[in-house]
């Protein structure tokens, strides 16, 4: 498994099927992924997948969780309301699976990139986004996914050497430069903007 310390910007490199952004701060990564996918959409990249939107409630300890389908814009609520003092997992697995099925229906060979918010507990246990990732790989569609640092070992076992890992803090703070870095590292991603001759901002993982 290659990590960001192994010079992913080398001129001769394999085509990584999966790019994993490793993070420790969930809120920071959620914001990062929203900004990245917004820029990708502006560049007319054909996206599929799900990004998380967490909604804080003044009378709740836990946030309400929603997944936005990048292909359709549909918003899927995936959390249960277990009362104001709930502290454990509030994820509704059935709703998550419904969101995955809807996202999978939009995934095709014409998709430029599958974006998924998290390799989380459900994926560690063998469910969740795993089927979406498998379908993308079957279609030769590259995958971008967030991986909490605590789940990295389980993700590596699942990815079986197909993933390039980049730690979130090592990406440029400028979001446009960060996107260029991701596109350059993951050479399998199809970027319509660059194919039309758009000017790219050069960036490397520090």
DSSP letter (8 states) at residue 191 = -
Break the chain into its structural domains and give their ranges: 13-50+107-195
Q: Which residue has the tokens 């993951």?
A: 186
Residues 142 and 185 sit within 8 Å (Cβ to Cβ): no
Residues 107 and 46 sit within 8 Å (Cβ to Cβ): no
Distance between CA 173 and CA 203 in Å, rounded? 11
Distance between CA 173 and CA 176 in Å, rounded? 9
Average pLDDT, integer, range 120-143: 95
pLDDT grade, residue 38 (50/70/90)? Answer: very high
Q: Which CATH architecture has domain 13-50+107-195?
A: 3-Layer(aba) Sandwich (3.40)
Total-model pTM:
0.81
Q: Pick the residue with more confidence: 154 or 59?
A: 154
All residues at 6 or more sequence positions from 3 whose CB lies less than 8 Å from its CB, including other chains: 164, 165
Average pLDDT, integer, range 152-181: 94
């Amino acid at each position: 498994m290659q990590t960001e310390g192994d010079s992913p910007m080398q001129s001769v490199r394999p085509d990584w099927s999966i790019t994993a952004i490793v993070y420790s701060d969930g809120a920071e990564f959620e914001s990062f992924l929203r900004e990245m996918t917004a820029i990708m959409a502006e560049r007319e990249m054909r996206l599929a997948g799900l990004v998380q939107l967490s909604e804080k409630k003044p009378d709740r300890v836990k946030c309400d969780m929603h997944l936005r389908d990048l292909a359709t814009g549909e918003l899927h609520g995936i959390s249960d309301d277990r009362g104001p003092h709930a502290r454990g997992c509030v994820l509704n697995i059935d709703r998550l699976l419904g969101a995955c099925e809807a996202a999978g229906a939009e995934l095709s060979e014409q998709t430029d990139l599958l974006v998924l918010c998290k390799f989380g507990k459900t994926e560690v246990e063998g469910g969740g986004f795993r089927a979406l990732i498998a379908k993308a790989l079957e279609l030769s569609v590259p995958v971008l996914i967030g991986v909490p640092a605590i789940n990295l070992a389980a993700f590596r076992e699942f990815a079986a050497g197909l993933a390039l890992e980049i730690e979130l803090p090592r990406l440029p703070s400028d979001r446009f430069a960060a996107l260029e870095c991701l596109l350059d590292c993951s050479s399998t991603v199809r970027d319509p903007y660059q194919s039309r001759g758009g000017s790219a901002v050069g960036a490397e993982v520090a």
